[in-house]
A and B are shown apart, each in its own frame.
Chain A
Amino acid sequence: MKCWFITVLMVVPLFLPGAIAFENDAPLDDPVLESRARDLARQIRCLVCQNESIFDSDADLAKDLRQIVRERIILGESDLAVTDYLVARYGDFVLLKPPIKPKTYLLWFGPALIMLFAGIGVVRFLKRTGAKGRHPEALSTSERKRVEHLISGEEVD
């Protein structure tokens, strides 16, 4: 009985509507444009609460930026033009996903580069030690004798 109650307590919140700031604004009349605004808002960082998008953020500035996004979409601007407008004012930081450009190559391709070098290192290491492992040096006659003695348990002189 108690277990059942706790399960309900844990599951019910999953189905409650989230508090999404974007939904509190007046939506655009055209659902297609509104969904574009929604997608764009998800990509734009709220400068006040920096790890939230303006889609989620309740900050005053986020609200203003959502308003600007909607206005510019109504004006017929492309998604790129809208983000360019914001980047011109707030820099690349306003985009939650950093753009790929020479300054960010290290950020984007650095991990792959590290993996590549590590992979090369591992392959080289395995090749070297592996080659040795597959073809061990043969025992000399005296060594073989000693091993045989050790196995049979007799003392070697």
Chain B
Amino acid sequence: MTFAWREWTRGQWLLRAVVLLGPLVALAARWPGDPPRVWLVLLTLVLSAGWAVAPESVVGAVTLLLVAFSWVAGTPGDLPATAMVAGIAMLAAHLAALVASYGPDALPVSPSVVRLWLWRGLGVALVAPIVWLAALAVREVPGSGTVWLLGLAVALSVTVVAAAVTQAATPTEES
């Protein structure tokens, strides 16, 4: 595998920069007053750089998981407002990697594609505050642990079933 970063267009550089910075921003949002540990920042930086170079690689998922689980490592049960910032930063990195992987590294980035995903991203970003408010509201309810378990289990099941159904309904014959 070769990484032709010398061939990247300006648009590709911008997208890769978002991929690189997104996880770091999400990590920094966890500790607004207290910086995260150096080894965690370095590890995230290395993984983000790898993801920026190869936006289709599995490194992206590892980076996002590392950042997300670092959120629950220190203070369990906490639900700060900066979680919304982190969620949106992770979403931005994911979408930037998605647009960058529409073609080879040197593919010029179409402005209309960027505009489309910008609007979509802004729309989807609204999910973060909605879920945060919902989580905040549910946490106040007595016995919220059961509610969480049930709700999330249903959501997960729906996602899995939907994926399985759409997978089965697609023609796969060679034409």
* Same complex: no
B residues apposed to A, CB below 8 Å: none
